[in-house]
A = this chain, B = another copy of it.
């Protein structure tokens, strides 16, 4: 197959592609501006050039804040059916991308099904498949070979994966720092821990770092967006914004530059567990060190104690991060830190994250976001329950809640009844 230029390559030449035009329409942002920002590396379009999907997705400055949903099997739960139910929920409740993080069962088969079923861009963390394959092949992932990694990358690229999380920023030097500066929680990234184990056991540099050009070659060929992973993100608010985290972020900044030079789109993954008071600083650091590359935050969780409610902790952190300039929120479910999420957990996590993203869009001045609130509040004022509920983030839930609490006066609700403030005010102000 011949060489197809990447969107970044075309943008660099000032060429406005059909994909850019489509994004321009969806986001209500001038196509020239989209093109310019892609050129600058501040916007990326996530879409493998071998894969035609219904809903390609752009991430970055001036665009609506996007939301990713992680699905995929675990070693304990390998049933693909549950994961497909989660995919359905992701689609129904407005996810912008999904990531297949499977580590249990037939990974290639699962990935192919998810790619087939998903109209949204699909991301993966290829090192998972490498580790699972090496465990089967050699008895332990510690024995995986460099070429095993690139074989998986190529295979997944060919299958159509749209974006890869690549933990190329965790280096031998950063592991030395990790040992030097005692952390409360050393490594909380699954991919990061796999790579660190391999590096320490084999006394070798991270192959994703050492052979980053090979990663770039594959990404370039398929126009895969690289999501540069933060293997050393803080796993406790006590560890937030420490030297270890910043060392890795600097590495990611350099790798981002190298990627752009090779016309490969990149986004940067961010923490993690961060107290509210450090979120603004974290976003500013990423934007500075990575020269405006879109920021994809995993939460951030603003406390460690919200076990069972980490979707709320992440919604708080994500809303603030995105209001400060983060572009892409990875959802967190109520199951975080406890278990492989259920279908219901996925729904709860996605909705909380969408509320956070929307709140940030209001702060960012996204016009469509304002119109949504305005319209809903108009119907609220007029006590048009049907339209108010239909416009809400989860009409099913809202309509059930109202159904089981019928007011004796039909146009109000059971909270205020005849003392409904909106109705009282409307009446007296009309006098």
The interface centre, meaning the residue of A187, A308, A416 with most chain B CB atoms within 10 A of its CB, is: A308
Number of copies: 2
Stretch at the interface among A17-25, A219-227, A282-290, A393-401: A393-401
A136 within 8 A of B: no
Known contacts A362-B303, A378-B184; A190/B276 CB under 8 A: no
A339 within 8 A of B: yes
**A193–B424 CB distance below 8 A:** yes
Q: Distance (Å) between the CB of A142 and the closest chain B CB?
A: 9
**B431–A305 CB distance below 8 A:** no
**A200–B429 CB distance below 8 A:** yes
In the complex, chain A residues 342-374 whose Cβ is within 8 Å of any chain B Cβ: 351-352, 355-356, 358-360, 362-363, 370, 372-374
Chain B residues closer than 8 Å to A394, beta-carbon distance: 307-309
**B363–A189 CB distance below 8 A:** no
Given A186-B429, A196-B424, A315-B315, 10 other A-B residues pairs in contact with their CB atoms under 8 A = A75-B417, A103-B419, A184-B374, A186-B425, A188-B421, A194-B424, A276-B359, A307-B393, A334-B401, A339-B404
Q: List 11 A-B contacts (CB under 8 A).
A: A74-B415, A74-B416, A75-B418, A76-B414, A185-B377, A189-B421, A190-B416, A235-B421, A276-B363, A304-B377, A309-B397
Q: Which residues of A contact B (CB under 8 A)?
A: 74-77, 103-104, 128, 131, 178-179, 184-190, 192-194, 196-197, 200-201, 235-238, 275-277, 302-309, 311-313, 315-316, 319-320, 323, 334-341, 351-352, 355-356, 358-360, 362-363, 370, 372-374, 376-378, 380-381, 388-389, 391-394, 397-398, 401-402, 404-405, 407-408, 413-422, 424-429, 431
